[in-house]
Structure 1
Amino acid sequence: MTSLALILLLAIDIVFFIVIVHIIMSWLITFNVINLQQPFVYQLWSGLNRLVEPIYTPIRNALPSTGGLDLAPLVFIFGLYALEIIIRNNLV
């Protein structure tokens, strides 16, 4: 059972990293630091969007409208962290 929990914790860490990269990349695109006209940047961005948008969409639908502020990544990171705490506390 411990090895299964450790595999789940590794998966949570990977998903957390993907979400952080998506957040940073969205800021860089918004402030024109990187350009979506570059093929590598576009492929990376579209791949990240395909990974995180199915997760963000239900969260965005449940949250009230906040204008231009997207709180879905924050809520998702909070959920990941809560899940990690639950798994770590049940390892003992």
Structure 2
Amino acid sequence: MRAILDVVLLALQLYVWLLIASAILSWLVAFNVVNPRNGVVAGIYDFLYRITEPLLRPIRNVLPFLGGIDISPVILLLIIFLIQRVIVLYLYPAVF
């Protein structure tokens, strides 16, 4: 059972890094630092969008409009950190 919890924690940590990469790449595209018409950049951007958008969309639907500021990645990161803490502090010690 601990192996399953370790895999879940690893997957959550990987998703955190993908979420951070997606936010940074979206800023780079928005400020014209990278060209979104480049094939490699477009492929990476599309992959990160497809991975992160299914979890970010429900959060965006609930949040009020903040004038162009998107804090849904921050909310999702806090939720992931909460899940990780619950696993480490409550579930992991209870498993033999």
How far did 1:64 drift? 1.0
- Note if 1:83 corresponds to 2:87: no
Percent of aligned positions that are identical: 32
Secondary structure, counterpart of 2:55 in structure 1: helix
**Equivalent in the alignment of 1:65:** 65
Alpha-carbon distance in structure 2 between the residues aligned to 1:81 and 1:70: 19
How far did 1:35 drift? 0.6
How far did 1:30 drift? 1.1
**Equivalent in the alignment of 1:38:** 38
Root mean square deviation, CA, Å: 0.7
Structure 1 stretches of 4+ moved >2 Å: none
**Equivalent in the alignment of 1:49:** 49
The amino acid across from 1:19 in the alignment is: L
Alpha-carbon distance in structure 2 between the residues aligned to 1:10 and 1:53: 20
The amino acid across from 1:68 in the alignment is: G
Q: Normalised by the size of structure 1, how large is the TM-score?
A: 0.96
The amino acid across from 1:21 in the alignment is: A
Q: Normalised by the size of structure 2, how large is the TM-score?
A: 0.92
- Mind listing any 5+ residue stretches in structure 1 that lack a counterpart? none
Alpha-carbon distance in structure 2 between the residues aligned to 1:55 and 1:2: 26
How far did 1:58 drift? 0.4
